[in-house]
Amino acid sequence: MSVRVSISRSPLRLLAYAALAVPAILLAVDMLFWSYRFAPEPDTYDVVVGSTVNELGQPVDVVQQRLTADGEAQRRRDLFFGVSLMIGGAAAMGWGLKELVSPTVLLRADDDGIAVRLDGPNNPSRLFPWEEVVEVRSGVVDSEGASISALSIRLRDPEMIPADPAGAQPEPPWIHVFADEWDRPAHLVAPLLDQRAERPHPDGGDE
């Protein structure tokens, strides 16, 4: 039975990433360009730098604000955080928009087997051939105290499971692939893949 499944990140999740980047960029602009509408201003003191005449013909002092010693340290801090927020916010927004236009395939299933991206964004997907897949099911796994939706794949050979996969939790002979960012829920994907699994016969032999 032929199975063809392709999973990418949820567009709603990507839009949320892009939306979260907007406040970071606005705060960076606020800190870098002396707007200080959202961030607290550095400490300053007033210095008289000259005088002028007002509309009534009266002399008045011309005052400038200068940074105190603490204010200079605060300004350096603002520059550091402003640049960091600008770079981080722009990167997050750019990545989110790129994924919306050209999505990265996180899991693909075809006649060859199940290919899962487990080794980072710049590495090829790991292929688990159908003859090595014993069972596929969905569920929830605990990852650092958080409950995460997962697609669980049981393999015939536990040695095929990477020791430290990205976006998955190894538990030989199972590998639990995190599915919380998928564009389709794991409980809908699991039955499609499980129908191709090569389950052993009850007597211990292979099908």
Residue 122's pLDDT is 72
170 close to 87: Cβ distance less than 8 angstroms: no
Residue 200's pLDDT is 63
Distance CA 20, CA 53 (A): 49
Q: Which residues of the chain have pLDDT under 50?
A: 201, 204-207
Residue 53's pLDDT is 83
Residue 34's pLDDT is 82
Query: Residues 6 or more apart from 173 whose CB is under 8 A from it?
Result: 134, 154, 155, 156, 157, 158, 161
78 close to 67: Cβ distance less than 8 angstroms: no
Residue whose C-alpha is closest to residue 162's, from 196, 121, 120, 198: 120
Query: Residues 6 or more apart from 23 whose CB is under 8 A from it?
Result: 89
pTM of the model: 0.73
The encoded tokens of residue 154 equal 């049981």
| CA distances (Å), origin 190, targets 20, 111, 182 | 31, 16, 13
What confidence tens digit (pLDDT) does each residue in 27-58 have?
999 999 888 888 899 999 989 888 888 888 88
Residue 207's pLDDT is 44
Residue 160's pLDDT is 93
| CA distances (Å), origin 94, targets 12, 27, 182 | 15, 17, 19
Residue 151's pLDDT is 97
Residue 1's pLDDT is 55
Query: Residues 6 or more apart from 187 whose CB is under 8 A from it?
Result: 138
The encoded tokens of residue 125 equal 């997907």
Residue whose C-alpha is closest to residue 133's, from 114, 159, 107, 106: 114
- SS3 category, 31: helix
Geometric angle at alpha carbon 43, from 42 and 47, rounded to 5° = 120
